[in-house]
Structure 1
Amino acid sequence: MADARHTKVLIIGSGPAGYTAAIYASRAMLNPILVQGLQPGGQLTITTEVENWPGDTEVQGPDLMVRMEAHAKAMGAEVIADYISSVDLSKRPFTAQSDSGTVYTCDALILATGAQAKWLGIPTEEKFKGFGVSACATCDGFFYRGKEVVVIGGGNTAVEEALFLTNFASKVTLIHRRDTLRAEKILQDRLFKNPKVDLMWHHSVEEVVGTEAPLGVTGVRARHVETGEITLVPCDGFFVAIGHAPSSELVKDQLDLHHGGYVKVTPGTCNTSIPGVFAAGDLTDHIYRQAVTSAGMGCMAALDAERFLAEQEE
């Protein structure tokens, strides 16, 4: 028989939003349970230097998340290494089924499942994933010491990945379909000044090419978006950095979504379309997508949950 656990507040996800929600819910004496998910610590665990977290001129992403987890535990939150595979929001208490077999029930649910890297969706990208194609420079950059790599994208993610890869690669080519980047100006300045970086404007990647035995990347075919001309760009690694998509699969058929899958909340709150279910962080934020705003929303979600539970008791 599966284990059953009940809690007043269940938090799904363990990035800045989830851990901050756990801290505030613990301080409200709600004894929350936080289930970490597949990537404990969220996207910051695959980020190196974080320079925009207030109070830290520079901090390593994984170190920051270790501190947040420790803070949540110190406040009294129960942090569990498990993965929630399905939820039932049709009635209260809400039910969450985990991979371990444990069934969690809760009076209030805080969703903080974050976002995942987007992919181009071309067949050869899938073929070479893990064999030269990656969406995480901080995970795989070390393997390209002294080699040439290609990054595609034009936002903060792409520029941060490209800059990080210059620590290892002999050359980094950044491919972007426009002639200007969306990244913050300070990041653009660093990129343009780096002698290891080449920029390839007005191009998209059509195909990843490589060897069969062993499986490995040898280059990408880039198409000029205006002329259609194809250029083969030699490389040993190809990094996709075109942004992230919200991890809303758990609730896509149960909660109102908008802007391509982000959970919709009432402006100024973390209230979703179902009373007692709250959403915070990158799962709901299609505008800012910052660690500090995610943490702020985690605080809001916990306070909203506390208020909701108090009203139910009354």
Structure 2
Amino acid sequence: MVNAYDLIIIGGGPAGLSAAIYGGRARLKTLVINKGAIGGLVNTTREIVNYPGYPQVSGPDLMKDFHKHAQSFGVEFVREEVVSVELSQEEKKVRTKKGKEFSAKAVIIACGSEPRLLNIPGERRLRGSGVAYCATCDAEFFNGEDVVVVGSGDQAIEEGMYITKFARKVTVIVLHDEGILDCNKLSAERAFENPKMEFVWNSTIEEVLGEDNVKGVKIKNLKTGSSSELACQGVFFFVGMVPSTKYLTDSGIEIDQKGYIPVNDLMETNLEGVYAVGDNRVKYLRQVVSAAGDGATAAVAAERYLEEVNVFNSNVLQSQKKVLLLFENALINESLEFGTLLEDVNRESSEIYKIVKVDMATKKNLAKKYDIKIAPAVVVLDQGKEIKRLACVLDKSKLKSELC
């Protein structure tokens, strides 16, 4: 197939690009499918000061370096939006909005997240006409004007300070009591010292006012219940993010109530050969550095999974001999003894079987595939099809009779 790959990565943010670097370096035929500009939301970050090796760098510049690094290893990039996937089979399929279909044996989901909407009156209608979600993208359009920022986390306060470089005044609407912000202490101190920033405490936004453009906001005080209006020309919402995982509905991928994907330490999802990394997975820290680490882990895990699949297909499924798939545990003496006995019996029987050993500690996917929980265990295969299982007792005569 023209569109067949070893590894497909859905998403071109820091997690996806990191995975692409590792996939390309491992000489996997790797494809990154990204619906927007390479870099994702990091492109909206004006300044990054905590990525190792980069004392100060813009988000777009850092992502350009990631992109070039991946390209140097032969990684391919396609700018398309993924709308559906089939991930339950060994050969996974990914379909885009333009009707293209791509396939691979391993898929890494790195589609990130997007700004959460409050869905209050006027928010959607005035989006792009005063309502915004990215300071780096839109702050300059409010030069000399009054702007409202909704939210008090790191993003809200740091982006709010950036907006003060252009706006006449920035008013931050905060849910908490006076002096309490959700951001880090350093950003809070800098914000309180900024003469162009003001705060409205114990409050939330009820409505964005204006017909064709933002003219103001309606604010509700959560303690008194009273409402008031504040004139402004722009409203920036920084009230959290939601994972971009809607297209995975009915795909078989496990997703929690918030839309995030649970994974294990290897970034494995509940489906074999499918991994999730970055902001769309359940995790503690959502930063560029942690996303990059996720991508590296998933790509290495995917590489080993693909090697396992390829070796299994060639040594087992395509074997002309019947195969004894022996699942072993090196920490269990009985398992090792049985393996030696099985080899002796097969040798005495003119080696009519091919013995393929599986270390359960490292080949967990195969153990799961054949539902093997305890070693030793033997699955007898004929041209890839299971025909029986052995009792695995340390009795030479019984073992001979089972193999006849």
CA contact (8 A) 1:4 1:102 kept: no
Match of 1:182 in 2: 182
Q: Is the 8 A contact 1:150 1:237 kept in 2?
A: yes
C-alpha contact 2:88 2:272 (8 A) present in aligned 1 = no
Contact 1:14/1:35 (CA < 8 Å) preserved in 2? yes
Query: How far 1:299 sits from its partner (Å)?
Result: 0.2
Could you list the per-position Cα deviations for residues 145-178 of structure 1 after superposition, in whole angstroms to 9, with x for gaps in the alignment? 0000000001111112201101100000000111
Question: What corresponds to 1:288 in structure 2?
Answer: 285
The question of 1:276 aligning with 2:273 is answered yes
Paired residue for 2:5, among 7, 10, 20?
7
Which structure features the higher share of strand residues?
1
Q: Which runs of 5+ in 2 are unaligned?
A: 312-404
The answer to whether the 8 A contact 1:265-1:279 is kept is yes
Residue 237 (structure 2) aligns with: 240
Is the contact made by 1:252 and 1:261 (CA closer than 8 Å) also made in structure 2?
no
1:48 matched to which residue of 2? Answer: 46
SS in 1 for 2:18: helix
- Give the aligned residue type for 1:202: N
Give the residue type in structure 1 aligned to 2:173.
I
Map of 2:117 onto structure 1: 119
Deviations 1:48-81 (A, max 9, x none): 0111111111101111111110100002211222
Equivalents in 2 of 1:251, 1:189: separation in Å? Answer: 41
Name the CA distance, whole Å, in 2 between partners of 1:303 and 1:156.
32
* RMSD of aligned residue pairs (Cα, Å): 1.3
Query: How many residue pairs were aligned?
Result: 308
Q: What is aligned with 1:94? A: 92
Q: Provide Cα deviations, 1:281-307, integer angstroms capped at 9, x if missing partner.
A: 001044211000000000011011011
SS at match of 2:3: strand
Cα distance in 1 for partners of 2:284, 2:259 equals 13
C-alpha deviation, 1:40, in angstroms: 2.3
Paired amino acid for 1:307? R
Are the counterparts in 1 of residues 17 and 67 from structure 2 also a CA contact under 8 Å? Answer: yes
- CA distance in 2: counterparts of 1:130 and 1:87, whole angstroms: 32
Match of 1:193 in 2: 193
Equivalent runs, 1:113-262 vs 2, <5 Å: 113-179=111-177, 180-210=180-210, 212=211, 215-253=212-250, 254-258=252-256, 260-262=258-260
Larger Rg: 2
CA contact 2:160–2:170 (8 Å) conserved in 1? yes
SS at match of 1:124: coil
CA deviations over 1:100-140 (Å, ceiling 9, x no partner)? 33210010000100010001111311111111111111111
| Mapped contact 1:4–1:103 kept (Cα < 8 A) | no
TM-score by length of 1: 0.95
TM-score, normalised on structure 2?
0.74
Larger mean Cα displacement after TM superposition, 74-83 or 135-144? 74-83
Tell me, yes or no, if the aligned pair for 1:259 and 1:286 is still in contact at 8 Å.
no
33, 41, 48: which one aligns with 1:35 = 33
Secondary structure at the counterpart of residue 123 of structure 2 = helix
Helix, strand or coil at the partner of 2:209: strand
Q: Which amino acid aligns with 2:66?
A: M
Of 60, 73, 76, the residue aligned with 2:74 is 76
Overall identity of the aligned pairs, in % = 38
1:1-20 per-residue CA deviation (whole Å, 9 max, x = no partner) reads xx950001001100110000
CA–CA separation in structure 1 for the residues paired with 2:281 and 2:106: 17
After superposing the two structures, state which structure 1 stretch, 31-40 or 186-195, moved more: 31-40
Distance 1:242 1:287 in 2: 18
Q: How far apart are 1:251 and its partner, in Å? A: 1.4
1:308 corresponding residue in structure 2: 305
CA 1:23–1:111: 2 relative to 1, 3 Å: same
Q: Which is bigger in relative contact order (C-alpha 8 A, separation at least 6)?
A: 1
Question: Per-residue deviation at 1:22?
Answer: 0.4
Give the gaps of 5 or more residues in structure 1. Answer: none
- Tell me, yes or no, if the aligned pair for 2:38 and 2:67 is still in contact at 8 Å: no
Shift of 1:233: 1.3
Q: Report deviation, 1:276.
A: 0.4
